[in-house]
Amino acid sequence: MYIYTVKISADMEQSPKKLQQRFHEAIKRNHYALKTEKTYWHWIRRFILFNNKVHPEKLTKSDVERYLTHLAVKRLVSPATQNIALNALLFLYQKVLGRELEGIRAQRAKPKEKIPVVLTHAEVSQLLSQLNGHYQLMACLMYGAGLRLSECLRLRIEALNFEQMTITVRRGKGGKDRVTILPPNLIETLRVQAEKVRLIHAQDRAEGFGEASMPPALYRKYPHVAKSYYWQYLFPSPNRAIDPMTGRIKRHHLLEKGLQRAVRKAGVQAGIHKHVTCHTLRHSFATHLLQNGTDLRTIQELLGHEDIKTTQIYTHVLGMHGSGVASPLTAINLSTMMSTTPDSPPGTAPYRDSR
């Protein structure tokens, strides 16, 4: 059961503005990411539709509990998804509506432990061979450094350290930084990509632009850094666009959908009969490291997992949870009793060679 207490300051003002506008202003006021805003509004909208479009101000704690239980029981969402929905509603009531919700109780979603899809070395090679250009380089980084899709897209020039052979991941999952490995066979390709970024940035500066997006607090402290070369994205968008958070024209990174589509298509073209996604490459990175003898603690640090239990799932992929255990069937001599000729399908005559 969920039990949460949310305290609201008494001086929070009630605005007559539309709910979505009030929500947007609260997001900016609390410096939440644009992706978080989209995710939270998605769940708030579903909550409103679930309650027949009744305004949240007219709903009660029991309505919130009923919706969260519906997600777990009827929609069969994962615990992580249910938590996101809960956080969205807590944000709505606390930061937007200025209401206190005490002791929210809802039936928990049942945890589902899934064995991740992992590619073999040969399948990774086949997949990469079907990609080209920056999509191939990004796929190499996700597999070779264990990067998440968003982490790969958000890499900046300053993240690459060719001397120490490392990649610094800034503001990864949970807002944490970490250092992972830089594959040595990507050095030359990365240098070429970095030079392309330099030329694009020089052209932007010449035309009066050249800013990259930055975390709000960092931008306020170091506004000049946004126009520096080393802060530019490693995989910049081909077009400049208005930053929705600041209203200024900047050059963002490539979109997630393009890379996702490219990897899925490459999996099909490579003839890989598995559900191949960008995250499959990260799973394969961890599994292959474990297969090569890298200890779990090191893999945990490279992946940025907060809990070692999350990393331990890869021992199940390799069957290492049963390491040293022999099947009792090995004690039985099967060579004298098993036929190598396949059985005929039911209802058909045995196969006979008529030659």
pLDDT at 231: 93
Judged on CB neighbours under 10 Å (0-12, 13-18, 19+), 201 is: buried
- Answer yes or no: are the C-beta atoms of 236 and 254 closer than 8 Å: yes
105-109, 160-164, 258-262, 281-285 — which is least confidently predicted?
A: 105-109
Instruction: Quick: pLDDT tens for 261-288.
Output: 999 999 999 999 999 999 999 999 999 9
Instruction: Quick: pLDDT tens for 284-311.
Output: 999 999 998 899 999 999 999 988 888 8
Instruction: Quick: pLDDT tens for 23-48.
Output: 999 998 888 888 899 999 999 999 99
Query: Averaging pLDDT over each range in 138-152, 174-188, 213-227, 300-314, which range is the top one?
Result: 138-152
Give the helix/strand (H/E) hosting 38. helix 34-50
Catalytic residue (one of 156, 250, 283, 305): 305
DSSP assignment of 216-260: HHHHHH-GGGGGSGGGSBSSB-SS-EE-TTT--EE--BPPHHHHH
CB within 8 Å of 119: residues ≥ 6 apart? 127, 272, 274, 276, 280, 281, 284
To the query of whether residue 314 is one of the catalytic residues in this protein, the response is yes
To the query of whether residue 279 is one of the catalytic residues in this protein, the response is yes
Nearest-angstrom CA–CA distance, 282 and 174: 17
Mean pLDDT of the 327-338 span? 71
Catalytic residue (one of 22, 227, 279, 316): 279
The span from the first CA to the last CA of the chain, in angstroms, equals 72
Query: Is the pLDDT assigned to residue 8 strictly greater than 70?
Result: no
Structure-model confidence comparison of residues 329 and 92, the more confident one: 92
The fold adopted by the segment(s) 113-321 is: hpI Integrase; Chain A (1.10.443)
Catalytic residue (one of 95, 134, 148, 253): 148
Give the helix/strand (H/E) hosting 160. strand 160-161
Structure-model confidence comparison of residues 335 and 87, the more confident one: 87
To the query of whether residue 282 is one of the catalytic residues in this protein, the response is yes
Domain 19-96 has CATH 1.10.150.130: yes
To the query of whether residue 70 is one of the catalytic residues in this protein, the response is no
Please, where in the chain does CATH 1.10.443.10 lie? Answer: 113-321
To the query of whether residue 321 is one of the catalytic residues in this protein, the response is no
Number of H helices, E strands in the chain: 14, 5
Rounded alpha-carbon distances, angstroms, from residue 164 to 65, 218, 234, 235: 51, 26, 18, 22
Structure-model confidence comparison of residues 60 and 213, the more confident one: 60
Nearest-angstrom CA–CA distance, 157 and 204: 16
To the query of whether residue 233 is one of the catalytic residues in this protein, the response is no
Instruction: Quick: pLDDT tens for 165-198.
Output: 999 999 888 778 999 999 999 999 999 999 999 9
Catalytic residue (one of 24, 46, 173, 264): 173
Please, where in the chain does CATH 1.10.150.130 lie? Answer: 19-96
Catalytic residue (one of 201, 282, 283, 288): 282
